[in-house]
Amino acid sequence: MEATKACSATDYKPGLEGVIAGISSVSVIDTERDTLLYRGYDVRELSEHCVYEEVAYLLLYGELPTADQLAGFQQKIGSQRSLEQPIIDAMVSLPKGVNYMDALRTGVSLLGHWDTQAQQLDHEANVEKAIRLIAKIPTLITTVYRAQQGLPPTQPDPSLGHSANFFYMLNGQKPDALTVKTFDISMVLYAEHGYNASTFSAIVTCSSLSDMHSAITAAVATLKGSLHGGANEKAMVMLKEIGAADKAEAWVMDALAQKKKIMGFGHRVYKHGDTRAPILKELGRQLSEQKGDATWHDLADVVEQVMMREKGLHTNVDFPAAYVYYMMGLPIDLYTPLFAASRVAGWAAHVIEQLDNNRLMRPKSGYNGPAYKPLKPLAERG
């Protein structure tokens, strides 16, 4: 049996753990510096000094923009946020109680129908489509969210930056400076992370010479799960269920005794801690100070200490993101769509890279089914 021989136990890595599935110049986890680099730049420095649009530009074009290039890029994003009326109508007509990741998956797919370059696969068209997706995804999210609350859509404000505009479209109010800064940093930190499940899904999709919108639709679908993007929502649900810092230790011990996974802890790649998590944790501390209420920060701290003591596990970015978003008043079921609104820049950068130098993704499986069996005619079976 050729297929069985071809796959020895050592060839196969469940979940493709540690397998090099492609070569990319978009990002890397720099183990020497113990950090994440986007196109060579440390995510810690990017989050301190750059706005999301600057980082999206870096991911799409490979270099940081000059001031003029950034202004042009922001202007372009700002002018492309609106949705065509049939897309608004479709988002508004989704059934009550819709899952927002399902809605976003549908919305991204719909965007493709109205994108005049949808079927073009060349580099320039892919970059333009990526910019439109970055511009329009927040509008899809706020449109469907508001419709579910019985509210009309808010028109985007082209004079606002990407993060401020999101809050404005969500609730019609311009947020304070710390909220914008914190949210924008979370967007920078969520923007890219190598060959994670959703990015890989986008790469596989476009490798058949399918298009950008199809690839991003697949990525949104993959991000939804709680082992990936869905963890930020599940982490907040857990923190709310725990309710107070003095209940946290017993709650975590009980969950671990039941062999439950604690959302927002552990990582397939980082085994000594996620570079991004302490940045958001510090912002959580600042938000607590600003609000004069450290409930969530303190509670999270206990969960963190117990997880380190019991399992030696660090938080990943989704854990502080959960309570930071909560403190900013964002609805829990939008946390994963917001991850998507940020990660679309990374997804698109990988799709562009793949289509610039494409080879169809077609791995093979090992086989553990039966060996050859002679076929019995229907009348002789049973």
Ligand X SMILES: CC(C)(COP(=O)(O)OP(=O)(O)OC[C@H]1O[C@@H](n2cnc3c(N)ncnc32)[C@H](O)[C@@H]1OP(=O)(O)O)[C@@H](O)C(=O)NCCC(=O)NCCS
Q: Exposed/middle/buried for 13, CB within 10 Å: 0-12, 13-18, 19+?
A: exposed
- Which residue number is nearest to ligand X in terms of Cβ? 266
- Give the span between the Cα atoms of 328 and 338, in whole angstroms: 13
Identify residues 214-233 at the interface with ligand X (CB under 6 A): 227, 231
* 318 part of the interface to ligand X, by CB under 6 A: yes
| Residue with smaller CB distance to ligand X, 213 or 343 | 343
User: Given the complex with ligand X, which of 107 and 266 has the nearer CB atom?
Assistant: 266
- Verify binding: residue 181, ligand X, rule CB under 6 A: no
Give me the least distance between CB of 185 and ligand X, in Å please.
17
> x-or-dash pattern for ligand X, window 125-154, by CB under 6 A?
------------------------------
Q: Which residues contact 58 (CB under 8 A, 6 or more apart)?
A: 38, 39, 41, 46, 50, 64, 65
CB atoms within 10 A of CB 342: 25
Q: Which stretch binds ligand X (CB under 6 A): 50-58, 64-72, 311-319, 363-371?
A: 311-319
Window of 66-74, 172-180, 288-296, 308-316 that interacts with ligand X by CB under 6 A: 308-316
Exactly one of 133, 189, 236, 263 binds ligand X (CB under 6 A); that residue is 263
| 268 touches ligand X (CB under 6 A) | yes
Cα(335)–Cα(343) distance, rounded to whole angstroms? 12
Catalytic residue among 30, 102, 267, 333: 267
Of 265, 296, 325, 347, the residue at the interface with ligand X (CB under 6 A) is: 265
The CB-of-141 to ligand X minimum distance in angstroms stands at 20
Is residue 266 near ligand X by the rule CB under 6 A? Answer: yes
- Site size with ligand X, rule: CB under 6 A: 14
Min dist CB 258 to ligand X, Å, is 11
What part of residues 324-363 is at the interface with ligand X (CB under 6 A)?
none
The residues, ordered by sequence, that sit 6+ positions from 159 with a Cβ below 8 Å of its Cβ are 78
Span near ligand X by CB under 6 A; candidates 24-32, 116-124, 264-272, 373-381: 264-272
Give CA–CA dist 80/134, Å, rounded: 9
107 vs 229 by CB, closer to ligand X: 229
254 tagged catalytic: no
> Between 73 and 190, whose beta carbon lies closer to ligand X?
190
162 belongs to the catalytic site: no
Q: How far is the CB of 318 from ligand X (least distance, A)?
A: 5
Smaller CB separation from ligand X, 128 or 233: 233
- Contact with ligand X (CB under 6 A) among 27, 316, 336, 354: 316
Residue 261 interacts with ligand X (CB under 6 A): yes or no: yes
Distance CA 38, CA 187 (A): 13
Q: Which is nearer to ligand X, 44 or 267 (CB)?
A: 267
Q: Which is nearer to ligand X, 155 or 305 (CB)?
A: 305
Least Cβ distance, residue 182 to ligand X (angstroms): 19
Contacts of 363 by beta carbon, 8 Å cutoff, 6+ apart: none
186 or 207: whose CB is closer to ligand X?
A: 186
- The set of catalytic residues is 267, 318
What does the binding site for ligand X look like in residue numbers (CB under 6 A)?
Answer: 227, 231, 261-268, 311, 313, 316, 318
